[in-house]
């Protein structure tokens, strides 16, 4: 646990900048440093976001360099090539592993003692790459994982049932990507099982409705990318939420990407499962109930990530 209220954002593209904008409004930090390969871009974003400080709370937002990570509580890494229309998150692997090979050793050199939050895609692979390259304890390297996918799911279910999405408890687990799994078995609305709640609200076609919602959630990033070429507001709010949980030591349960050891027969691969998150990063996994089919799909998701990991030279 580090006693600092400083965050560093590495990568000032759409996701990095939108995340800093969300963090500026959160009041969690007194200092936010922006680092980018293009120093002018980092300076421009820092200036632009700083002009909102009079409407938020006092803090310093400025462009910096890797020396700034030494005393940071959280370093967020959003640097990397973005997903283009028609590309899957896994298509980005080699481009972004190369970028991480230049970034992570720089952080490691500074004896960084905080939490590393990986947001760049494919997030599960890059979280595992960051653990290997940084030498940090596994609990202190977290990927944003399926926090956003789960929020999209809760939003859709909230709309479907006409209830507040904050009362919907449902997780997407596994890869943040095409093999993600909706944990329907454990989904509930304030403790009421989902199927029961659906019937209360006049929905009886469970199989069709759940399949449709799962597909919409899985494809929503592709749809947004096709329409506006990038997704950044939803992930920015996810980054803010993860940072809140860490900075306030909330011990909240989030489906973040982290190294899994022995949950549902999965070992030595980074993917999303609900975990207790606090000031020290990952505290422990939460074993959620899955149906046999869901557990099988989760294992398949893990195996597909493992295969890709095996092709990466570090």
Report whether 41 belongs to an annotated binding site.
Answer: yes
Cα distance between residue 238 and residue 236, in whole Å: 5
Report whether 89 belongs to an annotated binding site.
Answer: yes
Cα distance between residue 23 and residue 247, in whole Å: 12
Report whether 129 belongs to an annotated binding site.
Answer: no
Q: Judge whether 8 and 76 are in contact, CB under 8 Å.
A: yes
Report whether 71 belongs to an annotated binding site.
Answer: no
Report whether 54 belongs to an annotated binding site.
Answer: no
Report whether 231 belongs to an annotated binding site.
Answer: yes
Give catalytic status of residue 160 as yes or no.
no
Which entry of 176, 229, 258, 261 is annotated as an active-site residue? 176
The neighbouring-strand residues paired with 174 are 272
Torsion of CA 287, 150, 35, 47, to 10 degrees: -140
Dihedral-angle region of residue 262 (phi above 0 means left; psi in -120 to 50 means alpha; beta otherwise): left
Report whether 311 belongs to an annotated binding site.
Answer: no
Report whether 204 belongs to an annotated binding site.
Answer: no
The neighbouring-strand residues paired with 142 are 117
Report whether 186 belongs to an annotated binding site.
Answer: no
Q: Which long-range contacts (CB under 8 A, 24 or more apart) does 94-99 make?
A: 96/120, 96/121, 96/122, 96/126, 97/125, 97/126, 97/129, 97/312, 97/314
Report whether 123 belongs to an annotated binding site.
Answer: yes
Annotated binding site for NAD(+): 15, 36, 41, 66, 80-81, 102, 119-121, 144
Any idea which residues carry the catalytic annotation?
A: 176
Annotated binding site for substrate: 83, 89, 121-124, 149-152, 231
Annotated binding site: 15, 36, 41, 66, 80-81, 83, 89, 102, 119-124, 144, 149-152, 154, 169, 231
Annotated binding site for beta-D-fructose 1,6-bisphosphate: 154, 169
């Amino acid at each position: 646990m580090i006693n600092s209220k400083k965050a560093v954002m590495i990568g000032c593209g759409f996701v990095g900048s939108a995340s800093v904008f969300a963090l500026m409004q959160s009041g969690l930090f007194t200092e936010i440093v922006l680092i980018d390969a293009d120093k002018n871009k980092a300076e421009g974003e820092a200036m632009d976001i700083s002009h909102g400080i009079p409407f938020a709370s006092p803090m310093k937002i400025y462009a910096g360099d890797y020396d700034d990570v030494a005393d940071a509580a959280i370093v967020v890494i959003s640097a990397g090539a973005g997903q283009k229309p028609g590309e899957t998150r896994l298509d980005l692997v080699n481009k972004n592993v190369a970028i991480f090979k230049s970034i992570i050793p720089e952080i490691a050199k500074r004896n960084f003692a905080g939490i590393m939050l990986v947001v760049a895609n494919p997030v599960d692979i890059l979280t595992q790459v960051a653990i290997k390259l940084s030498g940090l304890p596994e609990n202190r390297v977290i990927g944003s994982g399926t926090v956003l996918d789960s929020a999209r799911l809760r939003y859709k279910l909230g709309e479907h049932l006409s209830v507040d999405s904050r009362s919907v408890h449902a997780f997407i687990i596994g890869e943040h990507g095409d093999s993600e799994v909706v944990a329907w078995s454990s989904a509930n609305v304030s403790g009421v099982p989902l199927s029961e709640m659906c019937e209360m609200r006049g929905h009886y076609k469970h199989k069709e409705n759940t399949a449709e919602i799962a597909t919409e959630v899985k494809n929503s990033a592709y749809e947004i990318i096709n329409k506006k070429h990038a997704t950044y507001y939803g992930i920015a709010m996810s980054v803010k939420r993860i940072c809140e949980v860490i900075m306030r030591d909330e011990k909240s349960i989030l489906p973040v990407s982290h190294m899994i050891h022995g949950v549902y027969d999965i070992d030595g691969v980074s993917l999303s499962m609900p975990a207790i998150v606090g000031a020290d990063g990952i505290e422990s996994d939460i074993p959620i109930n899955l149906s046999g089919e869901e557990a099988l799909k989760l294992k398949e998701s893990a195996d597909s990530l493992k295969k890709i990991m095996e092709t990466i030279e570090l």
